[in-house]
Amino acid sequence: MSWINLRELAKKRSLFTSGHRLCAGCAAGIIGRLVMHSVPDPKHVVVVHATGCWEVAGTIFPYTAWAVPWIHNAFENAAATASGVELAFKALKDKGVVKKVPDIIVFGGDGGTVDIGLQSLSGAIERGHNFLYVLYDNNAYMNTGIQRSGATPRYAWTTTSQVGKVIPGKLEARKPIANIIAAHGNAYVATASPAYWRDLMEKARKGIEYKGPAFIHAISPCCRGWRFPPNMTIRVAKLAVETCAFPLWEYDPETREYKLSPPSLAIAKNPKLKKPIEEYLKLQGRFAHLFKPEKREDLIARIQEDVDKEWNQLLELCGIT
């Protein structure tokens, strides 16, 4: 029996409150609410945030949308900041200043996690601090205006991977951040999509309760940067999973095993359910150049090849062959 009782849960207001200034339809707001509703004890949690659109949108001075203690330090050091918070509360608990060490949740975008913050995150994971790091991956530096990141998928348009006569958007594939974190060996790692909210919440709770570092890589469709209407956020987040562009899985550091989560496991069991990547791409204006003025079958095929290779590699990791 899951701890999630929707009718009871929905009576509570979010610890990340209304009045924040994320764009209409932003997935980060949904991910934030779902994660914060997964906190076992709302009275004992501290949130650490990397610089990014969500960090900014939640705390435009003199306002704060955080109903829990919250700290933002800089762009590249959220994991290090969280490490310090954890050590301080351990020390203060030893001295009897606080009753218990709070749960620590870190939120960082793909810029702050995959690129500029990777070193500090890797260092913190290696040291084994007890926190849950949630990467909300909107595939680019959205806060500064949709610039390419290490998490931007191949052929996506961004303002620094422009589409021109010579170059069709970003030429490189994205960095496999969740695998990189899993490779540290000591962290609970999971991927999640807000479309599969119950899965996301269960993983968040698991990550919080895991005694050690936990990392959730959540896909966070961005209507402004990906160029789709704001009401389509969850549809896009769902298609990412259905096309296997963003499969859902977990890594258990105790057994060192990868495991597909139910929505992706269903596809693994019945490959006919796997939708072509084109369905995901065509919803998004950042891939419009793959369809207009003429359809670029070659580029779409290349993206499909990326997806298939990653998916097959994942199946192998999960022991499904």
Partner 1 sequence: MMLALNGDEAVAYAVKQSNVDVIAAFPITPQTIIVEKLSEYVANGELKAYYACAESEHSAISMIVGASAAGARTFTATSANGLALMHEILYIVSSLRLPVVMAIVNRALSGPINIHTDHGDSMAERDACWIQIYCEDAQEAYDTVIQAFRIGENHKVLLPVMVMLDGFLISHTTQNVDVLEDEKVSNFVKHRIPAEIEVFGKKVPLTLNPENEVPLTFGPLDLWDYYFEHKRQQEDAMEKSREVIRKVHDEYAKISGRSYGNGFIETYNMDSAEYAFICLSSTAGTVKSLIDKLISKGDDKLGLVRIRTFRPFPYEELPKALEGVKGVAVLDRSGAFGAMGGPVYNEVRSALYDSDVHPFINGYIYGLGGRDMTMEMLKSIYDDLVETVKSGKPKRKIEFVGVRE
Partner 2 sequence: MSEDLAKPGWKQIPIAGVPFKKATEYHTGDWRTFKPVIDQSKCTKCLTCWIFCPDDSIVWDGNTVQVDYRYCKGCGICAEMCPVKAITMVKEE
CA–CA gap between residue 75 and residue 77 (Å, rounded): 6
* Smallest distance, partner 1 to C-beta of residue 168, A: 35
* Smallest distance, partner 1 to C-beta of residue 143, A: 10
106 binds partner 2 (CB under 8 A): no
Amino acid symbol at 199: D
* Smallest distance, partner 2 to C-beta of residue 314, A: 27
Q: Which residues, listed in sequence order, are joined to residue 217 by a DSSP beta bridge?
A: 135, 191
DSSP secondary structure string, 120-134? HHHHHHHHT---EEE
Kindly state the helix (H) or strand (E) to which residue 247 belongs, with its residue range: none
> What tokens does 309 get?
């290779």
Chosen residue from 231, 305, 312, 316 binding partner 2 by CB under 8 A: 231
Q: Which residues are within 8 A (CB) of 22 and not within 5 positions of it... i.e. 6 or more apart?
A: 28, 29, 53, 54, 57, 58
Residue number with CB closer to partner 2 (18 or 321): 18
Chosen residue from 3, 40, 42, 64 binding partner 2 by CB under 8 A: 64
Residue with tokens 């709070």: 102
14 binds partner 1 (CB under 8 A): no
74 binds partner 1 (CB under 8 A): yes
- Distance spanning both ends of the chain, measured CA to CA: 31
81 binds partner 1 (CB under 8 A): yes
Amino acid symbol at 184: H
Cβ atoms of 135 and 88 within 8 Å: the answer is no
* Smallest distance, partner 2 to C-beta of residue 61, A: 6
In 3D space, the residue among 55, 64, 67, 56 whose CA is nearest the CA of residue 12 turns out to be 67
Residue number with CB closer to partner 2 (30 or 318): 30
Q: Which stretch, 42-50, 197-205, 223-231, 233-241, contacts partner 1 (CB under 8 A)?
A: 42-50
Which of helix, strand or coil describes residue 254? coil
Cβ atoms of 181 and 215 within 8 Å: the answer is yes
Chosen residue from 4, 23, 123, 282 binding partner 1 by CB under 8 A: 123
Report the partner that residue 97 touches, choosing among partner 1, partner 2, none (CB closer than 5 to 8 A by kind).
Answer: partner 1
Site of interaction with partner 1 (CB under 8 A): 43-46, 48-49, 55-56, 59-64, 66-74, 76-77, 80-92, 94-95, 97-99, 102, 119-120, 122-124, 126-127
Site of interaction with partner 2 (CB under 8 A): 6-7, 10-11, 13-14, 16-30, 33-34, 58-59, 61-65, 194, 197, 223, 229-235
